[in-house]
Structure 1
Amino acid sequence: MKKTAIGERIDAFIAYKRSLGYVYDTQERYLKHYQRHMEEQYPYLDLPDKTSTDCFLDKYKGQSGGLYNAMAPLREFARYLFQLGCRNAYLIPPKQLPKLYPEPPYFFSEEELSAFFRECDSYFIDNPGPRARGIIMPALFRVLYCCGLRPKEARMLPAENVHLDKKYIDILQSKGPKSRRIYISDELTVYLICYNSRVSAVFPNRKYFFPRDSEKPYSVQALCYNFGTIWRKTFPGWEGNLPRIYDFRHHFAWATINRWAREGIDVNAMIPYLMRYMGHNCIKHTLYYFRFVPDFYADYKALSSRLNDRIPEVPDE
């Protein structure tokens, strides 16, 4: 079947973004939804217009995340068409982009984390599942916890980018055209060497370090399902919303900053290192993950008390 003009332009745009170093997987999925919408309902159009675009976006009303994910690449696509001289392409006004309000993170206690990983190891011994799941999931969760990776970075991690002999992992082109090298602790290295030996016996030529099979990674839905299963097993009487797998990343950020503060290390001097380790391009994105939590109040009080003699008393009069 011959490609439509809109389809050819979308393909060219995606190729252009990837040539700049962007992964552009999620964006491609939404643009392909848009392409099918155009080909089915507006086959006579070769450029986006307001009517066809609004009709497409109506499908995502009430879904702020989905609406944003649909709008953002469509705006970029229109701007790309403008640069090619297609001045009649409809550009979604920036004020129409929905504001995203991230769900507040859940802060794990050390007791909860210890209980979770004990249950994780125990559960997968009893329920190993297919394709070495019982080996892979405990290791994957530990890397998320110990390194503060984005879930996608861990599940899509190529086996060739893990250098256990040198104790580092290369994260290439993760979010945008950014790459970084993260060093891992001796304890995690020893654990992963054992893991690698066991999983290599099942998938000797695997593409991904945490594989679903020899060629494919686990989906984000699979990670969330397994995380939720273990959390419910660990805390059967849990009430309210479950923590999310992404909360490991939040925990890594604030736990690291809190530890530096407790040890008397200059946090301001260390934040740029944490920023690079987590793959951020500015410090404010790193500080977004930091929150004061109940188990830090005592330490914060002790730290701030050192300043008491530098702050003058307020006179009664």
Structure 2
Amino acid sequence: MSEYTFKSVFADDIQEFISLKRALGFKYVSEQGMLQRIDTYFADNNVTFREITREISDGWCRKRSHETLTNQSNRISVMRIFARYLNDIGVAAYVPLSGTSRKKHHYNAHIYTDDELKRFFAAVDESKSVPSECPYRGQVMPVFFRILYTSGMRVSELRLAKISDINLDDKYIIVKGGKNQKDRIVPIHHSLAEKCRELKCSIHKYSSDDEYFFMQYPGRPMTLVCVYKNFRRYLSKAGIPHTGRGPRIHDFRHTFCVNLLLKWSKEGKDLMAYLPYMRTMLGHEGFEETAYYLKLTADAYPFIRESLQRSFPSIIEEVTFDDRDYY
């Protein structure tokens, strides 16, 4: 039986708690591993006084994007039992409320196949402009959706991009005020940079640098409703069934990430070294958000699961996604 070394201010309390549980007849094996993670959490968060405040407790209980609800519930349960033990021995500890982890609506991401992508973009290329409603649709949509897929950008990051945000010489887009309120630079393929140059010459002859690059009308960006209605139209023309819950526009971002990880894996790249690049490009705050795509890649391509498992064993087993903030 593996034994653990505890290092936080609660080290002795945890060890005595485990000894008590075993004296009562409990094996307390997996729980011991969870208590080591709690102990590490205390140490990493500089808890130097024998007290568990609500803030510290809530930080531990908060759902992580790379874990299942079951895993979150197990973490909270062990913290709750330990906190009650501390209260019993006279140490102040906030006890997490029951029901802290609740089942959320979960969407299984749709990873577009190569054939689906081919059919979808063929449908997009047939777009026709309607002067009274969508005067630039035929020119804008083929470029817009291709950049959306090949860059992994969120829909509104791209639809709200202005002329000044797109550097066609160095082939990148500056995302300003994205999720987490952080700016970032996203590279675009040289062929799409050329398409953007053609689009700019076509519809922005007299536009200022402050104009929306993918405008619906001068001075007005494409709305989410406009993008979504056209997306559904293209899905239908491409013969890709919509279930009522998906596929969604945001699945282009999922597909981009999965295909990029697949490419790196096939090339034998060290994913630990390359994931920070993906995290920065996607505008993720931390590793946990990016970890979701490891799970998607392993599920979509079982033959690379083993290589991913070696680098990310716990993540590959636990990952789920709190599917929010798509656009």
CA–CA separation in structure 2 for the residues paired with 1:172 and 1:224: 22
The Cα shift of 1:191 comes to 2.0
Letter of the 1:108 partner, please give it: Y
Alignment equivalent of 1:240, drawn from 235, 240, 243? 243
Structure 2 residue aligned with 1:272 = 276
CA–CA separation in structure 2 for the residues paired with 1:239 and 1:245: 11
Match of 2:182 in 1: 178
Q: Which residue of 1 aligns with 2:172?
A: 168
Distance in 1 separating the partners of 2:100 and 2:309 = 47
CA deviations 1:8-45 (Å, max 9, x no partner) are xxxxxxxxxxxxxxxxxxxxxxxxxxxxxxxxxxxxxx
8 Å CA contact 2:235, 2:242 repeated in 1? no
C-alpha separation in 2, matches of 1:180 and 1:239: 33
Larger RCO (alpha carbons 8 Å, 6+ apart): 2
- Superposition deviation, residue 204 in structure 1: 3.1
> What is the rounded CA distance, in whole Å, between the counterparts of 2:218 and 2:100 in structure 1?
43
Counterpart-to-counterpart distance in 1, 2:170 and 2:265: 29
Q: Does 1:213 align with 2:217?
A: yes
Q: How does 1:247-266 map to 2 (within 5 A)?
A: 247-266=251-270
The C-alpha deviation readout for 1:188-219, integer Å capped at 9, x for no partner, is 21222222222224x63461111011111111
Partner residue, 1:116 = 120
Superposed CA RMSD in Å reads 3.0
Number of matched pairs: 210
Does the 8 Å contact 1:107/1:293 carry over to 2? Answer: no
Q: 2:268 is paired with a residue of what secondary structure?
A: coil
Relative to structure 1, the CA distance from residue 252 to residue 283 in structure 2 (aligned partners, 3 Å threshold; closer, same or farther) is same
Helix, strand or coil for the counterpart of 2:248? coil
Cα distance, 1:153–1:100 mapped onto 2, change above 3 Å = farther
Q: Tell me the distance in 2 between the aligned counterparts of 1:98 and 1:300.
A: 29
2:302 aligned partner? 297
Distance 2:305 2:105 in 1: 28
| Cα distance, 1:246 vs structure 2 | 0.6
What pairs up with 1:62-81 in 2 under 5 angstroms? none
Deviation at 1:178, TM superposition (A): 0.7
Q: Which amino acid aligns with 1:184?
A: I
Amino acid paired to 2:223: S
Matched with 1:314 is none
CA distance in 1, matches of 2:124, 2:239: 12
Q: Secondary structure at 2:177's aligned position in 1?
A: coil
List per-residue Cα deviations over 1:45-98 (Å, max 9, x = no partner): xxxxxxxxxxxxxxxxxxxxxxxxxxxxxxxxxxxxxxxxxxxxxxxx9x8998
Selected match of 1:197 from 180, 194, 201:
201
With the length of structure 2 as denominator, give the TM-score of the two structures. Answer: 0.58
- Where structure 2 has 5 or more consecutive residues not aligned to the other structure, the ranges are 1-96, 312-327
**SS in structure 2 opposite 1:142?**
helix
Who is 1:37 aligned against?
A: none
- Give the aligned residue type for 1:110: D
- Name the TM-score, length of structure 1 as normaliser: 0.59
Match of 2:142? 138
Identity value in percent:
27
The verdict on how the C-alpha distance between 1:213 and 1:100 changes in structure 2, with shifts beyond 3 A counting, is farther
- Residue identity opposite 1:240 in structure 2: T
Distance 1:304 1:253 in 2: 14
